[in-house]
Amino acid sequence: MTGFARVDGHADGYAWTLEAKSVNGRNLDLRCRMPSGFDQLEAQARAEIPKTLARGTVNLTLNVTRTSTVSQIRINRELLAQVLELAREIEGEGAAPPRLDALLTVRGIIEPVEEDETEARERLDAALKKDLGAVVGRLASARAAEGARLVTILNGHLDEIARLTEASAACSSVQPEVLKEKLRAQVAALLDAVPALSEDRLAQEAALIIAKGDVREEMDRLRAHVQAARDLLAEGGAIGRRFDFLCQEFNREANTLCSKSADVELTRIGLSLKASIEQLREQVQNIE
């Protein structure tokens, strides 16, 4: 969800810079910093950006400067006629006729003409609206490029989770014959208990032993979660929320695996699984 984009423009005596940057966020949070008088552009941004971006804290900043207040000039012909008339009177007294460049230096002969501010502002607003679309598009492209890089990282974490899941399945303590032998020993201990347990209590204890000792169900769910995560990555689009929920399910199975484990090797693998899942979860926070 992180990215940065910038667009510079200038026209009709204005220059501007439009910047957009985004960081991680659970929802789409748009924050605009614009000069006074540009409320229309902010409203446009709040209407258009959600069509392109779904999550993240997005900061949109506009800086506008007026590079020139004069777009054209004109000659004050009335004043020029007065100066020429005065020059002819002086010329009759023997003075040389005035040169054109000298006439144009007379204050007031050349006057600045300010353009209609309404028309200039309309053109500025149109240019800014166009650049808003450009900067949002560039920001989305920057975020997509980051997402493409994250896919490789996420797949690496999923590969490690899958490897650890298969390593836990290969532990001797979870093999069917070992589980059966352990169950026989624990049931025999229950049968020899003093005082003797009732049949109902014996059945309950046996069921608890079986449920606690068999972690194959957790392994099956971990495998299913790995495949679901790969399917999400292949799907693309705004998958961050669903992926974050999937990470919670990953963590739930890893916790159960560790709590059921009575074997040092299986516990070690379970702890490694939790570490890999946490690394996956941290990277998922960067996904839209």
Query: Considering only 65-69, 97-101, 209-213, which range has the smallest mean pLDDT?
Result: 209-213
* pLDDT value of position 15: 92
Fold that domain 3-69+116-143 belongs to in CATH: Ribosomal Protein S5; domain 2 (3.30.230)
What span, in angstroms and rounded, lies between the C-alpha atoms of 270 and 261?
A: 8
pLDDT over threshold 70, residue 259:
yes
- Looking at every residue in the chain, the average pLDDT score rounds to 82
State how beta strands 28-33 and 56-66 pair.
parallel
Token representation of residue 98: 């005035």
pTM: 0.64
* pLDDT value of position 20: 95
Which has more pLDDT, 182 or 220? 220
Give the model's confidence band at 279: pLDDT under 50 very low, under 70 low, under 90 confident, else very high: very high
pLDDT over threshold 70, residue 263:
yes
Query: Considering only 89-98, 192-201, 224-233, which range has the smallest mean pLDDT?
Result: 192-201
Whole-number CA gyration radius for the chain: 38
**Domain definitions of the chain by residue range:** 3-69+116-143, 73-113, 150-284
Give the model's confidence band at 194: pLDDT under 50 very low, under 70 low, under 90 confident, else very high: low
Chain centroid to Cα 54, Å, comes to: 8
Which has more pLDDT, 182 or 172? 182
pLDDT over threshold 60, residue 62:
yes
pLDDT tens-digit readout, 71-100: 567 788 888 888 788 777 777 666 677 777
- Give 229-241 as a DSSP string: HHHHHHH-SS-HH
Of 104, 117, 106, 110, whose CA–CA distance to 74 is shortest? Answer: 110
